[in-house]
Amino acid sequence: MLLVYLLLSYFTASATGFFYQDIDITWGDGRAKILNNGELLTLSLDKASGSGFQSKNDYLFGLFNIQIKLVPGNSAGTVTTYYLSSQGSNHDEIDFEFLGNLSGDPNIVHTNIYTQGKGNREQQFYLWFDPTKDFHNYTILWNPLHIVFYVDGTPIREFKNAESSTGVPYPKRQPMKIYGTIWDAEDWATRGGLVKTDWTQAPFTASYENYKADACMWSSGSSSSSCASSSSSKNYTWMYQDMDSSSQSRLKWVQKNYMVYNYCTDTKRFPRGLPPECSLNKTA
């Protein structure tokens, strides 16, 4: 198995700090802004349009962290995102989506994973703090073993590489960019679409800072990489980082107390049997 990864064409990069250096604003007609000498990025949504950004680089495995302060006040109907995605109909994708809410209601983080174009792997969680008051850390660990979603260093979801035992594809061949967006999803985002966007509250603005990608940066023209060398790999402990007993306990705590929805328990949705990866990605 290791040989497969060593033959992949990528090289290691660690990027942090300035959005000017690492990020391109891709849409929004001025609604996305890079401020404070490149240390802060804001995305805004009004009735005419949302906005978004993407990383300049593509990555294949890494530890990706960003701090986000979500839309304050009545944000019902809006969705703020931070995710990884490749291109094409058979794309891979790893999603953090933050669903808007009425003022005072709990905030929900929606997670999903696509492999070879197939998603439908949603898990949702309440956050145990108010994410609109201050910046909080949202991290994606993506390595050959598993994908782990973290909130302020606490794991909330793990998706294991079970390709060899279940046949379920695992994201390991397609490089992905990092994306951030804000957009209107009033047809489903808040209470299943029952609560619509109140455009008198617009513009809705989310803020991002302290972006860091400690990752294997894809180089399509290279046949070797520093990630692939044994000496270099020792410097990137995330590459084969697994979950210790403490992390497993914290994961179970979150899933027991804050999980809102888990596709792996939705027998009505999957009457012919739950997806095969559910047997290995058990929750509390």
Higher pLDDT, 237 or 28: 28
Q: Greatest CA separation found in the chain?
A: 57
- For 142-174, write each residue's pLDDT tens digit: 999 999 999 999 999 999 999 998 999 999 999
Q: Is residue 80 one of the residues assigned to a domain?
A: yes
Q: Is residue 234 one of the residues assigned to a domain?
A: yes
Active site residues: 93, 97
Q: What is the CATH number of the domain that holds 115?
A: 2.60.120.200
Residue of 179, 154, 141, 185 whose CA lies nearest to 254? 154
Q: Is residue 190 one of the residues assigned to a domain?
A: yes
Q: Is residue 243 one of the residues assigned to a domain?
A: yes
Q: Is residue 115 one of the residues assigned to a domain?
A: yes
- For 4-52, write each residue's pLDDT tens digit: 333 233 344 554 458 999 999 999 999 999 999 999 999 999 999 999 9
- pLDDT band at residue 105 using 50, 70 and 90 as cut-offs: confident
What residues make up the domain containing 258?
A: 2-279
Please state, in angstroms and rounded to a whole number, the distance separating the CA atoms of residues 178 and 159. Answer: 19
Total domain count for the chain?
1
Q: Is residue 204 one of the residues assigned to a domain?
A: yes
Q: Is residue 9 one of the residues assigned to a domain?
A: yes
Query: Is a pLDDT exceeding 60 seen at residue 228?
Result: no
Q: Is residue 284 one of the residues assigned to a domain?
A: no
* DSSP-derived pairing of the beta strands 154-160 and 146-151: antiparallel
Q: How many alpha carbons fall within 13 Å on the CB side of residue 218?
A: 16
Query: Is a pLDDT exceeding 90 seen at residue 227?
Result: no
Residue 119's CB: how many other CB atoms inside 10 A?
A: 14
Give mean pLDDT, residues 98-122. 93
pTM above 0.75, yes or no: yes
* DSSP-derived pairing of the beta strands 59-69 and 32-35: unpaired
